[in-house]
Structure 1
Amino acid sequence: MLNFVMYVSDVCAPMAQDNEQMVQGLIDIERTAKQRNRHLNITGVLLVDGGHFIQLLEGYREDLDTLLASISRDARHTNVSILMDEPISKRAFGEWNMDIFTLDVKPELKSEDLHRFRDCYLANEKPNALEVANWVRRLIKHPEIRFGEVSA
């Protein structure tokens, strides 16, 4: 059965404090993740927002567990916290095995959907995976927030 996992984490201090290190770190994350996720048949996206990562992943349980174990050891971020982990009937991000979107580039795009998402969590009204995927898909439709393509 397919599963959907969403986690948040804090970007490590060197990347958060130095734009050049952030860009190099994201290039490395994208290159590595595209190859590994293709091998594991995992799809999803990584959002970068104000020194935080928000990652949405889709795949089969065993493959996700393998990937999450690796993610939890990655020194490029800290405080990994899984917000959602639930079964899904189909992939919402099937065309992406790992693309990165930098929301800081155009903050006006994210405010309404992310605030609504945050407010749902604060009110303890947890959206399901499909609702989260739909919100994120609306955010990432803007080409100006897509991080540079890296061929794998």
Structure 2
Amino acid sequence: MENNFFDVDPHQDRLDDIKLFAKLYFNGDEEKAEAYYDAMQQGKSKGFKENVRDNTSPPSNFVSTSISQGVAINFATNFGSRNGYVYAIKPNGGIDVNRTLGSASPYPSEQEIAIPYGINPKNILGVTPVDKNGKLGNHSILNR
């Protein structure tokens, strides 16, 4: 069976790839690498509508992303309370929440693309730091 990121129970190879990517990406910073690895773990919930309402309780199998840079900055900075990072990704396999749910979409301004079963590290184009005031850093780190 081909190893791909849509597996409900990811293969150990994928988990190892995520750990290696995180360690390399964060230049050996174990704390940041572990936080990234934890964020990439799959949740128990598979319900799309439940994810849109609340993707943290229970943890969801969807990763919430947005086509809006402003929305991404708000979430990365926890709405101005911390510094963060904005990721540029290839949204392969993503579900357009507003298009799918129409008027039933609870947060249409988020312009969400929900990606099932995580983001393959190969689909991360790069990351840009952002300060708590929403100002993007003057550099991006590319994923090669």
From the CA coordinates, give the structure whose radius of gyration is larger. Answer: 2
Larger helix fraction of residues: 1
Give yes or no for TM over 0.5: no
Larger RCO (alpha carbons 8 Å, 6+ apart): 1
More strand by share: 1
